[in-house]
Amino acid sequence: MLSSSAYPERSEEESSGTPSADGGPVGAAARPAHAEGDESPAESSEPVDWLGLPEPVRERVAELSAAALGRLPGDDVPRQLRPVARFAPAKRARLGGSALLTALRDSTRFRTAVLEWLREHRVDALNPNDEDAVAAAAAAVLLGESSASSRVRLVARHTEASALRAERDAAVARVRRLEEEIGRLRAELDDARAAVERARTEREDEVVKLRGRLREQGVVVREAKDAAAEAVAARERVEAERDAEIEALTARWERERQKAEAERAMAERAMAEAEAARQSAREARDADEVRLSMLLDTLSGAVDGLRRELSVGSTPRRPADTVRGANAGRRGGRVSEPRTLDTLLALPGVHVIVDGYNITKTGYPELSLAEQRQRLVRQLGALAARTRAEITVVFDGADVTSIPAAGPRNVRVLFSDPGVLADDVIRTLVRSEPHGRPMVVATSDQAVVASVCSSGAHAVPAAVLLTRLGRV
């Protein structure tokens, strides 16, 4: 908002309200004196363009109407201003300025209500003769005085003049800065010229030095050329001597090669004679082996005929094998401790049969089936390397789409055929082993445990095997 200092002061007659020289009234209802170039009295009665007010007057009118808006009854507030009335007081004039001016222009009731509120609470804001030209113009606009248009134009001219003065001052400041910049650039240019002159002088001195050095280098180059010519001559002499030595070595090598070929021919003849002797000895030994084999077959046939004639069994039996009322007992059993499992794994020729998914789903069920198989087979491979036991792991093959081509050494990986359970494959493996071979079956399936124990195998729970694998 522009202060009163930006506008010309009123005369003493205008501010006091005394009659003017022509007897016309002045004061609150009187028009301001017209300076040179101001509008005529006929022009001052033109209607005010509310939305085209100068920015200072526009802000003043919006501020006063926004202050009144929050205190007016709802019936006096136009419908389009009701959302603005809900704004905070500081935001009404800033965000709803255009809506407030439009309502003042279009709604006589709203304008009258605003004037009444201002007369009651802000009577100082309705003084068209205020020293502040902006406040006076805003009061004249709100009161609808005939001098409002001329006051608004006066404020607009002074606003424009102030803007022009500000632009002029800014332009003068820019000119001063440019003059200072030009002075600085001139000083830098002088310094650059002096530097160029010094560089030119130094370059000329350097050229003189380089010419002297070039003459010195010419002498060195000529000496180098003479030395190179001598080196070439020396190299040619050395190459001639080397070629002669190479020819002598080549002739010597050729003589040695011919001598070696003659010795190799003699060695080949000796090898052929030795091979013929070995062949004769091998034929003689083969004939002796054939005669010995025929003799053994004859003796074996005679012994078999004698056994059949005497009805003697082929399996040797001892008196203790014929005792009645006792037996050797069942070799199979259940293993409940890792220490017992270590004892079984130390037996020579032990065969360990593992129920694959029964072990993996007990130890690491969170992995996928493929990852379970890979982890178990890797651990069993380490166990086989430590114990030298034969290990066979059996998986159900129903859900397996791809079978790995090879597994770890000493670990046999089997997948049951479609329609065949891995439990049945394990039972078949146990029954196929010869009587008396130590067997260990790792599973927690009680049906499998019962059947393999009856066949003489030792059953190891999944937890015990996983504990042993954890130590590998």
Tens digit of each residue's pLDDT (9 = 90 or more) over 54-71: 888 888 888 888 787 778
CA-closest candidate to residue 60, choices 144, 150, 126: 126
pLDDT at 28: 35
By the 8 A CB rule, do 146 and 117 touch?
Answer: no
pLDDT at 400: 66
Is the per-residue pLDDT at 365 higher than 60? yes
Is the per-residue pLDDT at 77 higher than 70? yes
Q: Which domain holds residue 124?
A: 4-168
What's the rounded mean pLDDT across residues 33-44? 39
- The residues facing 442 across adjacent strands are 354, 460
In a domain, 130, yes or no: yes
Is the per-residue pLDDT at 450 higher than 80? yes
Angle at 163 between CA 158 and CA 169, to 5 degrees: 125
By the 8 A CB rule, do 20 and 75 touch?
Answer: no
Highest mean pLDDT: which range of 44-53, 110-119, 360-369: 360-369
Domain boundary among 122, 142, 168: 168
What's the rounded mean pLDDT across residues 445-469? 93
Total domain count for the chain? 2
DSSP-assigned states of every residue in 94-148: HHSHHHHHHHHHH-HHHHHHHHHHHHHH-GGGG-TT-SSHHHHHHHHHHHT-TTH
Structural tokens at position 274: 């030795």
In a domain, 111, yes or no: yes
CATH code of the domain in which 348 resides = 3.40.50
Q: Of the given ranges (98-102, 173-177, 262-266, 456-460), which has the lowest mean pLDDT?
A: 98-102
Structural tokens at position 280: 């004769």
| Residue 10: pLDDT band with limits 50, 70, 90 | very low
Strand, helix or coil at 183? helix
CA-closest candidate to residue 456, choices 339, 344, 320: 344
pLDDT at 423: 94
Is the per-residue pLDDT at 36 higher than 60? no
Domain boundary among 137, 168, 199: 168
In a domain, 465, yes or no: yes
- Write the CB contacts of 464 (distance below 8 Å, at least 6 apart in sequence): 335, 336, 337, 338, 341, 442
Report the predicted TM-score, pTM, of the whole model to 2 decimal places. Answer: 0.35
| Residue 8: pLDDT band with limits 50, 70, 90 | very low
Highest mean pLDDT: which range of 64-68, 79-83, 386-390, 402-406: 386-390
What's the rounded mean pLDDT across residues 239-259? 89
In a domain, 254, yes or no: no
pLDDT at 15: 35
Q: Of how many residues is the chain composed? A: 472
In a domain, 253, yes or no: no
The Cα 48–Cα 68 span in angstroms is 21
Q: Of the given ranges (17-26, 273-282, 395-404), which has the lowest mean pLDDT?
A: 17-26
Buried b (16+ CB within 10 A) or exposed e, 97-128: bebbbbbbeebeebbebbbebbeeeeeebbeb
In a domain, 441, yes or no: yes
> DSSP code of 34?
P
In a domain, 257, yes or no: no
Domain boundary among 135, 168, 201: 168
In a domain, 415, yes or no: yes
